A and B are shown apart, each in its own frame.
Chain A
Amino acid sequence: MSKLNKKRSRFIIISLIVPMLLLIAFVVFPAFDLFRMSFTNWDGYSQEKNFIGIENYISMFQNKDLWMSLKNNAVYFVIHFFMIFVELAFAVLLTGKLRAAKFYKTMVFMPYIINGVAISYAFSYFFSPINGAFDAILTSLHMESLIRSWLSDPKIVNYVLAFVSLWRFSGYHVILFMAALQSVPQDVLEAAKVDGATTWQLFKYVQVPAIMLMVDFVLFDNIRGALQVFDIPFVMTAGGPGYASSTFTLYTIKTAFTFSNFGLASSMAVAIMFMIIFIYVIQNYLIHGLILKDRRK
């Protein structure tokens, strides 16, 4: 090996060694360790750790509360999914001719940077049955009959929490869509306008193709986010009443750190990991394999 090459590889090794070690110790190793733990009945502290095969996976699939939690995740997913259309509309609105657009852009993204715990408490207050602002709004509109116990009625609690989640995260997607829309060259838009394209045609034929990649990212972010909903229910309802507003992640964390069943919790964690990777692969295949290839033709 020449002297230069030696210097070069020494530089690479010295630079990468610490970040790689950290990544392996705190991210990669734990991920693999989850697999190993998922085949044991470990309780988190005792020395004893028995290999019990796929028992955890069987009890996971038979766990009704966990399935209910997963169904709650679906509520977040569906609501966020339909919101994507609204987010897109807002992105188009804010990138178009609009007075005070800058101010609106600032406002639309603000919820995303606000402390999640603080805003969860603020919404607990907003929806609280005593002195709650939401009930007061309904009363002032003479719609008292609609008043519910927003955070303790199992039938609606998930929708209320999903609304809080919308409030927090929608602005992020609006900003992403805006960035994608602004990447459309201005002269292309002008040319299309000169040729007499309507706003809708511009949107459909020029802007939508340009933002397909971002739509792809937002969809994946939506699925990943919906599967991992945690802090809003954790702070606002702790998954209650009962497991009515529990989510898959919340239930997993509870199984480990509250019920000390690290083995079972690991199998749930493995399940989440697989769901995310599975969806990522499928979506990658669909978007990049079918839609984008289609466009190149």
Chain B
Amino acid sequence: MYRKALTQFIKQIICLGMVVIVIAPILLTLFAALKTKGDMAVTSPLLLPAWNRITFENFRDVLTDKYLLLGFKNTGIILLISLFFNVMFGTITAFIIERFQFKGKKIVVGLFFMGMLIPTFVTEIARFQVIQGLHLYNTIWAPIVIYVASDLMQLYIYRQFISGISVALDEAALLDGCSYFGLFAKIIFPLLAPATATVCIIKAINIINDMYIPYLYMPKNKLRTLTTFLMNYANAQQGSWQTLAAGIIIIMIPTIAIYVFFQKYILAGVAAGAVKE
């Protein structure tokens, strides 16, 4: 009995230690964001300032920056269009790969598989010419086409899901005179809704957090996303940690909020995306 209680106690201590490590950098950044410039110098970075000296000035500075609003808008547009096409192409491609035998299928599957092995960042060296050649450089379409064309994790999730749907359903629908498009649009697509939720949430987090593609392809001020906004903001705040800290906290909020609300889908999808590999 004692031993059981003791092991539980030790386990709790270890887990609490983990929580402290996870929370500490975020919490300490929040502390800094609530301090005035003077308090940054005199109070310990491990402590909040005195209660009556807490300031929201740093947050006001970030929130009134006109580029923050623009960043929200641009990230939102990129997100909506990318997710729409990701879901559309992802579902139909997975459906065809899972359910149909056709000439050249091996090549199609092979190309998609290759797409997953190709390293991410360094491919931009060659992709850059393609984007420029299509006159997409410095337009909001550059990240959109890249997010739609590459990062193919949705295929795994959809394929796994479709393989769990009975083929008898397809056959019955086709016998009843349903067209192939009808079968996909009216029967398969709605059944994939849970997988679509997972795909959308995980992709949304990846897209909101992505730094390099917007940084490389959209240097224009008007095209800042949330993440590149923070990078510009950081360069402008050189050395003034309390204002930068407020920016950091604000940029962290959207994905943390998504995580808190949709945790179930995220954890399920993350594991599903990996298992099949």
Contact = CB atoms under 8 A, between A and B. Distances in A.
Interface string B208-251: 11011000100000000011001100100001010011011101
B32 interface: yes
Interface residues of chain B: helix, strand, loop or mixed (majority) = helix
B18 A90 contact: yes
B118 A31 contact: yes
Interface string A2-21: 00000111011001101110
B45 A131 contact: yes
Interface in B107-154: 108, 111-112, 114-115, 117-130, 145-146, 148-150
B274 A228 contact: no
A114 B46 CA distance: 21
Given A117-B230, A125-B244, A27 B180 contact: no
B179 interface: yes
Contacts of A121: 230, 234, 244, 247-248
A176 B271 contact: yes
B125 A266 contact: yes
Given A113-B259, A114-B255, A125-B244, A27 B118 contact: yes
Nearest to A247: B121
A37 B129 CA distance: 11
B61 to A, nearest CB: 16
A63 interface: no
Contacts of B205: 113
Given A117-B251, A214-B274, A125 B245 contact: yes
Interface in A197-221: 213-214, 217, 220-221
Interface stretch (B50-58, B158-166, B189-197, B262-270): B262-270
B211 A167 contact: no
B83 to A, nearest CB: 15
A153 to B, nearest CB: 20
B14 A249 contact: no
A28 B111 contact: yes
B128 to A, nearest CB: 8
B32 A23 contact: no
Nearest to B92: A15
A105 to B, nearest CB: 7
B21 interface: yes
B180 A28 contact: no
B2 interface: no
A125 B114 CA distance: 39
Interface residues of B, number: 88
Interface stretch (A75-83, A144-152, A188-196, A252-260): A252-260
A104 interface: yes
A28 B21 contact: no
A227 interface: yes
Contacts of A137: 46
Contacts of B209: 113-117
Nearest to B19: A107
Interface centre among B15, B115, B126 (most CB of A within 10 A): B126
B26 interface: yes
A27 B211 CA distance: 19
Contact of B119 (A93, A119, A228): A228
Contact of B122 (A29, A97, A110, A269): A269
B173 interface: no
B122 A117 contact: no
Given A176-B270, A253-B122, A230 B212 contact: yes
14 contacts: A18-B89, A26-B130, A26-B146, A34-B122, A109-B267, A113-B255, A113-B256, A115-B230, A133-B28, A140-B44, A234-B212, A235-B231, A249-B121, A269-B126
Interface of B: 8, 11-12, 14-15, 18-19, 21-26, 28-29, 32, 40-41, 44-46, 89, 92-93, 95-96, 100, 102, 108, 111-112, 114-115, 117-130, 145-146, 148-150, 179-181, 184, 205, 208-209, 211-212, 216, 226-227, 230-231, 234, 239, 241, 244-245, 247-249, 251-252, 255-256, 258-259, 263, 266-267, 270-271, 274-275, 277
Query: A-B pairs with the 5 shortest C-beta distances?
Result: A179-B271, A30-B126, A269-B122, A26-B149, A22-B149
Interface of A: 7-9, 11-12, 15-16, 18-20, 22-31, 33-34, 37, 44, 90, 93-94, 97-100, 104-111, 113-119, 121-123, 125-126, 128, 130-133, 136-137, 140, 167, 171-172, 175-176, 178-180, 213-214, 217, 220-221, 224, 227-228, 230-231, 234-235, 249, 252-253, 256-257, 262, 265-266, 268-269, 272-273, 276-277, 280
